[in-house]
Amino acid sequence: MFGEVKLLIRKLGLFSLPFVLYAVVIAVVDPYDFLPGPSPFGEEIKREISFKLNYAMWEMTRFKEDPAPNILLGDSRMMSMPLDRIEEVSGRGFFNLSYGGGSLREAIDTFHYARQTTRIEHAYFGINLNSYNGSSRKDRVSEVLAAQRNPLIYLVNTNVTLSAGRILWSAITRRPPAIGQPLGDKDAFWKEQLEVTTRVFFSNYQDPVDYRRELGEIAALCRTEGIGLTFIIFPNHKDLQDKILDYGLAEESQTFRDDLAGLATTYDFAFENEMTRNRDNFKDPYHFTANVKELIIQSVWGGRPEFVKILGPESELARSGNP
Amino acid sequence: MFFNSLHYVIFLPLVVMFYFLLPPRRRWMFMLAASYYFYMCWKMEYIILIVISTLVDYYAGLAMARTPEQAKRRKYLILSLVSNLGILFAFKYFNFFNDSARAVFAHFDLSYHIPYFRVLLPVGISFYTFQTLSYTIEVYRGKQEPEKHLGIFALYVSFFPQLVAGPIERSTNLLPQFYRRAEFSYARTMDGLKLILWGMFKKVVVADRVGVIVSTIYNDPYQFSGVEYILGACFFAYQVYCDFSGYSDIAIGTARIFGIDLMTNFRRPFFAKSLGELWQRWHISLSTWFRDYLYIPLGGSRKGRPRALLNIFLVFFISGLWHGAAWTYVIWGSVHGIFLVLESWTSGVREKWKGAVGLREGQLVYKILGIAYTMSVFNFALLIFRANSVRDAFHMVAHLFDGVGPFLVSILSGDFAILQAILRGLGLSQKELIIAVLSIAVLQGAEFLQRKGSLRAQLATKPVVLRWAVYYGLVGSILFFGAFNMSQQFIYFQF
């Protein structure tokens, strides 16, 4: 019997070797700096690769290590906001917990994660109609939470494997990593975003029953715990505003604004004006340029509102001194 | 304790090690303790239900053997039936019938005062109840000698690999195996581990992955339309199959390590060419249980055609109820019953029609048509089975084809934005959809190869490089594509 047991152990041990080796490699590279201990690979290369492959894992892991009392939540629009300028203008410490291609589901779950990690003073949610949509269910946050509960899940996460592979490859070949594609021709990309992406976002728009309830709960929680809460509806180009109307979502668009305004101070930049009519202010119908970012920062954090409607419960507006 | 938990990964090697270190005549004690521990990890106090079933059936069996009088023997059988089915009724069905009665009373504005029974459904109660009932029925029929060893009998009722979700073993198969003095065998252990590996692939790569999509659709069906319903029904067929047959594979593989051969529970059901054939391949241990202990005692096909058809319907009606205490299960069973009755009733006409159009059983087109028909009916019935309520089920059935036309037109014209919108609505990335579809393709490919016999036996004849590549592929798929962060338990635990 013992001979057979020895044979089994030897075979299983041999079979397991590549997996052990793999685990060692991941633990050494540690693309998201998730595990304790130093890694021979620097922050720069990891940011270039790992961050782009999984924004949520990157940001949440860093937030856990070095949290800040003020947080930004949302999608690529909020993610693109320059943190150093916001800190400079506001005089407060911030952490950007927004993810490219993010959903409201992720923003809500990240808010709760942040609240459990540190004492939050103010949360800024960047929300537009495409994310305030019952049919937007993307969720990359739960896998990060699962990995934080059980590091074995981190070891077998496909983004972790891909990141580690690319970091190693980049180190071996000494070639800079190339993640993401160049935008190419602006007109063509504009058209693609306006036609295809907009159809993906709005062709099956659903009333966001759960999001409405959950944001209501967050607003109540913030009031109870003394956390500041602000919503920002980022500017979108007039072409997109028209497209939303073409999809018959005028009423939904108004309900969206009313819902947010009923909960907290809301900075609404997404309406027709000189700024949103000008194509030069946008990279595509959804994403604005650096000068618009500065305008937003001055409006929200600098107390100099421009091209914005400030909405919200009467009490909140009076307290903040806004019109 | 779930098979797909870290707890089980530690539990199984420890049990195997101590089991084979013990002298053979003491092993039953250890295995019984391990089995009780396995069950008690879920809810400690419910072990008492297993002990009650064990004691009642053990003494009923002995008493029947001592009594030559048929009337007295019947009394002991009734004692066993009443106590086992009584426990099952109290814990699984009481609230269902109570709620239904309350709804009827409320409809007629009548007062109703029987309270709700606050109780958690004991895991696997339908499985071990049917297993232990088969013993007393077989003893009553004189086909099984009563088991004199209480410990061995207790192990028969509670053997941990198949305790909570089958296969529902027959005493004639399982009891004698506990007396076998099996020694540790490398070949048998490897064979068992390979089966466990395949079962884990089915469970965590296919079932749990598509399960996320299925849950999104069924938990809020009013947010979706026909395309998602059809997708949800098809994915649920794979979820429930991989979840349950995956569990069976792990159970059979685990038992094999101990030298115990459990019965085959699934035989490539999605290659069945009729619903009747599907039920000969799906959950075989339950189908044969119903055949032997319900269909045949009801008269089977011996009392004329109409009675046979009624018996078929009754068996599937009750099978629906066995699966769960809800009207959706009853309707699901009834739909199967109706289609099986129709299949049986029209068999003569269909044979003539086949002859007229020149179709033969071996033809590819016949197989494809048969499989397409079977899967359509099976998936349609599963849509009702999985729905959270009868209202949801009716809504989904009524809107099953909403939006399907425009969707097909868009896809066929090369416009995939509508598909992307659907994926977004389901919270899915293209990568996740591709993994789900590919894992199903791997499963179907493997099952296609199984038509020539066990895949493990076929692989054994291949070069070591190929064999190991397959095993690495499976382990790698489980580790990297398995849905570990969703922590889904096995669907059939609730039955």
Q: What percent of chain B is modeled with pLDDT above 90?
A: 53
Q: Give the DSSP per-residue string, B461-493.
A: TS-HHHHHHHHHHHHHHHHHHS--TT-PPPGGG
pLDDT on residue B493: 60
Tens of pLDDT, residues B264-283:
999 999 999 999 999 999 99
Q: In this complex, do A199 and B485 lie within 8 Å of one another by their Cβ atoms?
A: no
Task: Tell which A residues from 179 to 238 touch B, by Cβ distance under 8 Å.
Answer: 196, 199-201, 203-204, 206
Closest CA to B404 of B228, B198, B152, B143: B228
Whether the Cβ atoms of residue B127 and residue B168 lie closer than 8 Å to each other = yes
ipTM of the complex: 0.74
pLDDT on residue B120: 76
Using pLDDT thresholds of 50, 70 and 90, give the confidence band for residue B364: confident
In chain A, residues with a C-beta closer than 8 Å to the C-beta of B420 are: 196, 200
Fold annotation for A55-139+184-323: Rossmann fold (3.40.50)
In chain A, residues with a C-beta closer than 8 Å to the C-beta of B213 are: none
Q: In the annotation, is B399 catalytic?
A: no
Q: In this complex, do A199 and B421 lie within 8 Å of one another by their Cβ atoms?
A: yes
In chain B, residues with a C-beta closer than 8 Å to the C-beta of A203 are: 417-418, 421
Q: From B465, which residue of chain A is nearest by alpha-carbon distance?
A: A15
The verdict on B410 touching A (C-beta cutoff 8 Å) is no
Tens of pLDDT, residues B456-484:
888 888 898 999 999 999 999 998 888 87
Q: In this complex, do A134 and B223 lie within 8 Å of one another by their Cβ atoms?
A: yes
In chain A, residues with a C-beta closer than 8 Å to the C-beta of B468 are: 15
Q: How many CB atoms lie within 10 A of CB B220?
A: 15
The verdict on A163 touching B (C-beta cutoff 8 Å) is no
Helix ranges (DSSP H) in B163-283:
171-174, 186-200, 208-219, 226-257, 275-281
Q: How far is A199 from chain B (nearest CA, A)?
A: 7
Q: Are strands A265-268 and A309-311 parallel, antiparallel or unpaired?
A: antiparallel
The verdict on B173 touching A (C-beta cutoff 8 Å) is no
> What is the token pair recorded at B183?
């020694």
The verdict on B183 touching A (C-beta cutoff 8 Å) is yes
How many whole angstroms separate alpha carbon A248 and alpha carbon A244?
7
CA–CA–CA angle B302, B303, B306 (5° rounding): 120
Q: In this complex, do A137 and B427 lie within 8 Å of one another by their Cβ atoms?
A: yes
Tens of pLDDT, residues B234-263:
999 999 999 999 999 999 999 999 999 999
Strand order in the sheet with A265-268: A94-96, A70-73, A122-126, A228-233, A265-268, A309-311
Low-confidence ranges of chain A (pLDDT < 50): 320-323
Give me the residue spans of the domains in chain A. 1-54+140-180, 55-139+184-323
Task: State phi, psi for B298 to the nearest 5 degrees.
Answer: -75, -10
Closest CA to B6 of B152, B256, B204, B163: B204
The verdict on B219 touching A (C-beta cutoff 8 Å) is no
Tell the burial category of A210 from Cβ atoms under 10 Å away from its Cβ (0-12, 13-18, 19+).
middle
Q: From A145, which residue of chain B is nearest by alpha-carbon distance?
A: B485
* Strand partners of residue A124: A72, A230
Using pLDDT thresholds of 50, 70 and 90, give the confidence band for residue B410: confident
Task: State phi, psi for A266 to the nearest 5 degrees.
Answer: -130, 125
How many whole angstroms separate alpha carbon B194 and alpha carbon B178?
23
How many whole angstroms separate alpha carbon A111 and alpha carbon A87?
19
Task: Spell out the residues 6+ positions from residue A206 whose beta carbon is closer than 8 angstroms to its own.
Answer: A133, A134, A135, B223, B425
In chain B, residues with a C-beta closer than 8 Å to the C-beta of A201 are: 421, 424
In chain B, residues with a C-beta closer than 8 Å to the C-beta of A145 are: 485
pLDDT on residue B488: 62
The verdict on B186 touching A (C-beta cutoff 8 Å) is yes
Q: How far is A49 from chain B (nearest CA, A)?
A: 18
Give B250's Cβ-side CA count (13 Å radius): 25
pLDDT on residue A321: 43
Task: State phi, psi for A124 to the nearest 5 degrees.
Answer: -115, 115
Residue with tokens 């990690």: A117
Distances (CA, A) of B53 to A65, B60, B153, B179, B366: 55, 10, 11, 22, 47
Nearest to B485 among A19, A143, A199 (CB): A143
Closest CA to A266 of A299, A302, A291, A226: A299
Q: How far is A178 from chain B (nearest CA, A)?
A: 20
Q: In this complex, do A136 and B424 lie within 8 Å of one another by their Cβ atoms?
A: yes
How many whole angstroms separate alpha carbon B376 and alpha carbon B281?
17
How many whole angstroms separate alpha carbon A54 and alpha carbon A34?
13
Tens of pLDDT, residues B162-197:
988 879 999 999 999 999 888 899 999 999 999 999
How many whole angstroms separate alpha carbon A162 and alpha carbon A177?
12
Give residue A74's region: left, alpha or beta (phi > 0; psi -120 to 50).
left
Give me the residue spans of the domains in chain B. 6-184, 189-494
Nearest to B421 among A11, A156, A204 (CB): A204
Instruction: Quote helix, strand, coil % in chain A, to nearest 5.
Output: 60, 10, 35
Task: Tell which B residues from 424 to 453 touch A, by Cβ distance under 8 Å.
Answer: 424-427, 429
Task: Tell which A residues from 44 to 103 touch B, by Cβ distance under 8 Å.
Answer: 103
Q: How far is B131 from chain A (nearest CA, A)?
A: 33
Decide if pLDDT at B226 tops 70: yes
Q: In this complex, do A156 and B427 lie within 8 Å of one another by their Cβ atoms?
A: no
Q: In this complex, do B425 and A158 lie within 8 Å of one another by their Cβ atoms?
A: no
Residue B436 Cα to chain centre, angstroms: 21
Q: In this complex, do B185 and A206 lie within 8 Å of one another by their Cβ atoms?
A: no
Average pLDDT of chain B, as a whole number: 89
Q: In this complex, do B420 and A143 lie within 8 Å of one another by their Cβ atoms?
A: no
Give A277's Cβ-side CA count (13 Å radius): 4
Task: Spell out the residues 6+ positions from residue B199 whose beta carbon is closer than 8 angstroms to its own.
Answer: B3, B245, B246, B247, B248, B249, B250, B251, B253
The verdict on B18 touching A (C-beta cutoff 8 Å) is no
Tens of pLDDT, residues A271-302:
999 999 999 999 999 999 999 999 999 999 99
The verdict on A318 touching B (C-beta cutoff 8 Å) is no
Annotated catalytic residue, options B323, B336, B395, B399: B323
Task: Tell which B residues from 31 to 60 touch A, by Cβ distance under 8 Å.
Answer: none
Closest CA to B246 of B281, B198, B293, B279: B198
Q: How far is A278 from chain B (nearest CA, A)?
A: 27
Q: From A209, which residue of chain B is nearest by alpha-carbon distance?
A: B223
* Strand partners of residue A288: A282
Q: From A151, which residue of chain B is nearest by alpha-carbon distance?
A: B485
In chain B, residues with a C-beta closer than 8 Å to the C-beta of A150 are: 484
Distances (CA, A) of A8 to B193, B408, B445, B471: 11, 53, 29, 15
In chain A, residues with a C-beta closer than 8 Å to the C-beta of B418 are: 199, 203
Q: H-helix or E-strand containing A125?
A: strand A122-126
